[in-house]
Amino acid sequence: MSWAAHEFENYFIQKHVGVKASFLGIVVGTQLPDLFTKAFVYSADDPAQFHRGWPGVGFSHSLIFGVVFAAAILAITRSRGWALGVLIGQWAHVLTDVSDTAGVMLFFPFSTEPVTISMWKHAAAEGQYGDAAAYYSSLGWAWDLFWLAMALVFAWRTLRRDYFREVIVAADPRVWGWLHRTFRLPESALLLLYRGLMFYGVGRLIAWFLYARLDARVPLDLSWGGPGHVAGNDISDAGPLEVLIRTGIGGVLFAGFLWLCWWAFGRRLWERGYDVPVAAERRRVVTRTGQ
Give residue 224's region: left, alpha or beta (phi > 0; psi -120 to 50): beta
Q: Kindly state whether residue 190 participates in binding Zn ion, applying the rule CB under 5 A.
A: no
Query: Which of 34, 100, 144, 172 is the binder for Zn ion (CB under 5 A)?
Result: 34
Q: Kindly state whether residue 33 participates in binding Zn ion, applying the rule CB under 5 A.
A: yes
**Minimum CB–partner distance for residue 114 and Zn ion (Å):** 12
Query: Can you tell me the distance from the alpha carbon of 75 to that of 136, in angstroms, rounded to the nearest whole number?
Result: 40
When the beta carbons of 1 and 4 are compared against Zn ion, the nearer one is: 1
Q: How far is CA 233 from the centre of its chain?
A: 22
Stretch that binds Zn ion, among 71-79, 90-98, 153-161, 234-242 (CB under 5 A): 90-98
When the beta carbons of 21 and 94 are compared against Zn ion, the nearer one is: 94
How many CB atoms lie under 10 A from the CB of residue 136? Answer: 26
Q: Kindly state whether residue 7 participates in binding Zn ion, applying the rule CB under 5 A.
A: no
**Minimum CB–partner distance for residue 11 and Zn ion (Å):** 18
**Minimum CB–partner distance for residue 278 and Zn ion (Å):** 37
| CA-based nearest residue to 160, from 172, 150, 152 | 152
Q: Kindly state whether residue 100 participates in binding Zn ion, applying the rule CB under 5 A.
A: no
Stretch that binds Zn ion, among 97-105, 137-145, 230-238, 241-249 (CB under 5 A): 97-105
Stretch that binds Zn ion, among 94-102, 161-169, 218-226, 229-237 (CB under 5 A): 94-102
When the beta carbons of 79 and 233 are compared against Zn ion, the nearer one is: 233
**Minimum CB–partner distance for residue 60 and Zn ion (Å):** 8
When the beta carbons of 33 and 56 are compared against Zn ion, the nearer one is: 33
Q: Kindly state whether residue 97 participates in binding Zn ion, applying the rule CB under 5 A.
A: yes
DSSP character string of 92-121? HHHHHGGGBTT-B-TTTTT--PPB----B-
Q: Which residues bind Zn ion (CB under 5 A)?
A: 1, 33-34, 97
